[in-house]
Amino acid sequence: MERLPHAWFDRPAPEIARALIGAQLLVRGVGGRITETEAYAPDDPASHSFRGPTPRNRAMFGPPGLAYVYRSYGIHLCLNVTCQPGSAVLIRALEPLSGMEAMTARRGTQDPRRLCAGPGCIGQALALRIEDDGTDILTILPGPEVRIVTGPRIGISRAVDLPWRFGMAGSRFLSRPFRNLGRI
């Protein structure tokens, strides 16, 4: 199976965020099935890119299909896939499949449901480094068509009504449950 080419990601973030649910994501051979994403767009007040390029967010204005890795709350490293300029998709949760041993060791738990349930947890499970920012570390393989649920993004205070959080319906590998009945 071929990985999705960079040009595939040259689309608006909400479209990519939805399409990535069910795909498989690997970083240096470790990862799993994408179960939860969020979209961030150029004209989106909740996006790091909203006020233009900075040293932190410069990857969001670069080529599509690369990693945008940023430090969250000074502690965690969170993973995005870049899309159209100023756009990115935050990877919020995975169903862990590959490199289970490495992930359990890094996360300090055997519970598969806690390995990659949250953006900071993914950063730790995949051993992301700040030097990965803006680089081509992502292998993303197409997955099956799956039922999608949507809802408001988590942890933001602006544009709170946009339904730009996407999840795999019925998955047990989510950072938090989806309240809504917003199936697609």
Partner DNA sequence: GCACCGATTTGCT
Partner DNA sequence: GCAAATCGGTGCG
The piece of 4-12, 18-26, 120-128, 161-169 that touches DNA (CB under 7 A) is: 120-128
118 in Cβ contact with 140 (< 8 Å): no
Backbone angles phi, psi at 159, to 5 degrees: 50, 40
What is d(CA 119, CA 144) in angstroms, rounded to the nearest whole number?
23
Among 27, 166, 175, 178, interactor with DNA by CB under 7 A? 175
Nearer to DNA, 57 or 84 (CB): 57
For DNA (CB under 7 A), the number of binding residues is 39
* Interaction between residue 90 and DNA (CB under 7 A): yes
What is d(CA 39, CA 81) in angstroms, rounded to the nearest whole number?
10
Among 23, 27, 107, 133, interactor with DNA by CB under 7 A? 107
* Interaction between residue 121 and DNA (CB under 7 A): yes
* Interaction between residue 168 and DNA (CB under 7 A): no
Q: Closest approach of Cβ 123 to DNA, in Å?
A: 8
88 in Cβ contact with 70 (< 8 Å): no
Reading phi first (left if > 0) and then psi (alpha if -120 to 50, else beta), residue 101 is in alpha
* Interaction between residue 154 and DNA (CB under 7 A): yes
Q: Closest approach of Cβ 76 to DNA, in Å?
A: 5
What is d(CA 98, CA 95) in angstroms, rounded to the nearest whole number?
10
Cα angle value 20/41/15 (rounded, 5°): 30
Q: Closest approach of Cβ 28 to DNA, in Å?
A: 20
Per-residue binder mask for DNA (CB under 7 A), 44-83, x = binder: --xxxxxx--xxxx--x-------x-xxxxxxx-x-x---
83 in Cβ contact with 89 (< 8 Å): yes
106 in Cβ contact with 98 (< 8 Å): no
Which residues of the shown chain bind DNA in the complex (CB under 7 A)? Answer: 38, 40, 46-51, 54-57, 60, 68, 70-76, 78, 80, 88, 90, 107, 114, 118-122, 124, 153-157, 175
